[in-house]
Each structure stands twice: as structure tokens, then as C-alpha cells.
Amino acid sequence: MDMEKPQIRRILLIENDVFFVGLLSLVLTKSGYGIISANNGKDAVKVLSEQPVDLIILDLMMPEMDGLAFLHWLREEANATTPAIVLTGMVAADTEQHVLEAGGDALLYKPIQFPELLSKIKQIEQLM
């Protein structure tokens, strides 16, 4: 029996830059994804307690609960396996290592290229 692969339908976008959220939401919505957004990791915890999502896209640098703290919460406290793509403008030699160790599935550097992001989403979808 051939099982159909799950499709990513709902994406939680965790980002504190309102303009970027709007732009990213537009691109992802036009690509067929439903978007739920949160301003920071603390708000995202609340969102996830109320509704499931298929993918999380989050910024690394946020107020209240940053991306690494959120990933630690997601993997260790929530025990969730929801794929997470981390976005950051912070280019440092060990950034990717920290993101992957915290439980991120991919890292993209800002300014992101939308085709690259959509390609990364499709790659993650293939692994689901």
C-alpha cells in the first residue's frame, strides 16, 4: 500500500519584523501555504498550544524568547518534531552549528531569496 506523503499546509512564522512578516506571508500564501504568525518565541509557544502546524519558520534574533531558546523549548519541553527553518542576518562561524544542535532543520541567511526558501520547504516536505 503506497502511503501519500503529508503536505505542508500550515506554517508558523515567528518573526518580530512586521514588514518582513507581511512580505513573507504574501510569498508563502501565493505558494499555497496557510500562515500563522507570532512576534517572538513566547507568543509562538502560546500559538502552538492552541493549534498544530506543519512547519515553523523562525528568526534567530527576537525579543523575549530568541530562536535558540524557542528551539530548545520545542525539542525538549514540547517534545515536538515539527520541522523548523531558522532565518538570521547574524553571520558567524558557529551560527549554523548552534542552530542544528538546538534542533533546527535548516538555516537561511537574510536577506533571504524567496526561491531558496521555497526550495528548502519542498526539500523538508520530501523528508516528511
pLDDT reading at 3 higher than 80: no
Between the CA of residue 38 and those of 51, 83, 122, what are the distances in Å?
Answer: 13, 17, 23
Sheet holding 106-109, edge to edge: 34-38, 10-14, 55-59, 84-88, 106-109
Any alpha helices (H) in the chain, and if so which ranges?
A: 18-30, 41-50, 67-72, 95-102, 114-127
pLDDT for residue 4 is more than 80? no
- Sequence-separated (6 or more) residues with CB below 8 Å from residue 4: none
Distance of alpha carbon 29 from the chain centroid: 15
34-76 tens-digit pLDDT: 999 999 999 999 999 999 999 999 999 988 899 999 999 999 9
Q: Are 11 and 54 in contact (CB under 8 A)?
A: yes
Structural domains of the chain, ranges and CATH numbers in brackets: 10-127 (3.40.50.2300)
pLDDT tier for residue 6 given thresholds of 50, 70 and 90: low
Does pTM surpass 0.85?
Answer: yes
- The residue-averaged pLDDT of 2-18 equals 81
Amino acid at residue number 50: E
pLDDT in tens, 89-98: 887 888 899 9
What is the secondary structure of 42-73 as a DSSP string?
HHHHHHHHH---SEEEEESS-SSS-HHHHHHI
pLDDT at 1: 41
